[in-house]
């Protein structure tokens, strides 16, 4: 199995040792650094490919936010995920980091299961983006022929197959893919299967999220439930309409990043999709229909 490389930056060697010990059983290569400026120089100069950076927001000299700004300003590191460690619970500080592109937060002192869950989620996001880039290279000819298409999907396996196809028609497919995956997963887990926000948070921390989805898919009430995604190519945009068979949700609560949810293992997907994946995102009606657009 290929192992993802993770850069971990903390001024305290004891904290680095703790994180390394907790992640010892994960398929990762860990690079531990106590100096953020030196870590940045290494990141710039090395040919090693990093999937994730975990950084203490209060690093001396080049702090976490400054490091993040440098990272996001360099296209070479566009796919690198960031987890910000912080002892501050100020909504303003958290919001500032989210605006800069830190979509994962870890509050010190953290629980071991919280660290593992958030790291797994960030690595999964990175792998999905990398997979999309690879698959899209093989469908360029078909992209020119599309007028519209509609697909039905039922589980995570279906979503993994569809997302690269659907995202490949847009100018920045790796960004579109991330947002589409979030909306389609929401349609399955929350819409069709009725997994609540609180249930997902607990399942993510416990490592039982996918197993619970598989279990609910076998229930008689859910066996014939599908979600649908329609893609339409227009002169100036690609439009996606995603529909599930659920009761909807309070979608307006999730359009913006909420610092109160920053330390949860879930709850940022819609806000992130709206900010980075789509030109427009709407939820007409009760919330079981999402309409996303990408400008051409």
List the CATH number of the domain containing 260. 3.30.565.10
Mean pLDDT of the chain: 90
Residue range(s) defining the domain that contains residue 171: 137-295
Residue 25 sits in a domain of what CATH number?
Answer: 3.40.50.2300
Confidence of residue 168 (pLDDT cuts 50, 70, 90): confident
**Distance from the Cα of residue 166 to its chain's centroid:** 17
HSE-CB for 290 with a 13 A CA cutoff: 32
**Distance from the Cα of residue 153 to its chain's centroid:** 20
Rounding to the nearest 10 degrees, give the CA dihedral for residues 89, 22, 120, 65: 40
Q: How many C-beta atoms lie closer than 10 Å to residue 206's C-beta?
A: 12
Q: Do residue 98 and residue 150 come from a single domain?
A: no
Q: Do residue 109 and residue 170 come from a single domain?
A: no
Q: How many C-beta atoms lie closer than 10 Å to residue 272's C-beta?
A: 17
Distances 163 to 136, 157, 170, 178, 181 between C-alpha atoms, Å: 10, 10, 12, 8, 6
pLDDT at 170 over 80: yes
Q: Do residue 50 and residue 72 come from a single domain?
A: yes
Q: Do residue 119 and residue 203 come from a single domain?
A: no
Rounding to the nearest 10 degrees, give the CA dihedral for residues 117, 123, 128, 129: 130
Confidence of residue 141 (pLDDT cuts 50, 70, 90): low
Q: State the total domains in the chain.
A: 2
pLDDT at 98 over 80: no
Q: What pLDDT was estimated at residue 267?
A: 84
Pairing of strands 280-282, 289-295: antiparallel
**Is residue 132 in some structural domain?**
no
**Is residue 94 in some structural domain?**
yes
Q: Do residue 173 and residue 240 come from a single domain?
A: yes
Q: Of 126, 153, 176, which residue is a domain's last?
A: 126
Q: What pLDDT was estimated at residue 94?
A: 75
Of 151, 156, 150, 232, nearest to 189 (Cα)? Answer: 156
Across the range 192-205, mean pLDDT stands at 94
pLDDT at 28 over 70: yes
pLDDT in tens, 4-22: 999 999 999 999 999 999 9
Confidence of residue 71 (pLDDT cuts 50, 70, 90): very high
């Amino acid at each position: 199995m290929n192992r993802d490389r993770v850069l971990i930056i903390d001024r305290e060697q004891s904290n680095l040792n703790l994180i390394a010990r907790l992640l010892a059983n994960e398929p990762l290569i860990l690079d531990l650094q106590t100096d953020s400026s030196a870590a940045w120089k290494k990141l710039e100069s090395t040919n090693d490919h990093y999937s994730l950076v975990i950084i203490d927001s209060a690093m001396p000299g080049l702090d976490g936010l400054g490091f993040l700004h440098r990272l996001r300003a360099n296209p070479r590191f566009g796919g690198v995920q960031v987890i910000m460690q912080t002892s501050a619970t100020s909504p303003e500080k958290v919001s500032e980091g989210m605006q800069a592109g830190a979509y994962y937060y870890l509050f010190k002192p953290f629980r071991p299961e919280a660290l593992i869950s958030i790291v797994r989620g960030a690595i999964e996001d990175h792998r999905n983006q990398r997979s999309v880039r690879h698959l899209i290279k093989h469908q360029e000819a078909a992209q020119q022929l599309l007028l519209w298409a509609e697909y039905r999907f039922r589980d995570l396996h279906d979503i993994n197959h569809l997302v690269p196809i659907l995202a490949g028609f847009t100018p920045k497919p790796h960004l579109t893919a991330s947002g589409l995956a979030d909306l389609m997963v929401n349609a399955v887990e929350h819409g069709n299967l009725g997994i609540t926000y609180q249930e997902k948070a607990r399942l993510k921390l416990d490592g039982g999220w996918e197993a619970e989805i598989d279990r609910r898919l076998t229930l008689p009430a859910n066996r014939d439930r599908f979600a649908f995604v329609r893609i339409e190519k227009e002169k100036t945009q690609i439009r996606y309409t995603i529909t599930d068979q659920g009761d909807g949700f309070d979608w307006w609560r999730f359009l913006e990043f909420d610092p109160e949810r920053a330390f949860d293992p879930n709850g940022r997907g819609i806000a992130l999709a709206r900010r980075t994946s789509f030109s427009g995102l709407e939820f007409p009606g009760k919330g079981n229909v999402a309409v996303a657009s990408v400008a051409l």
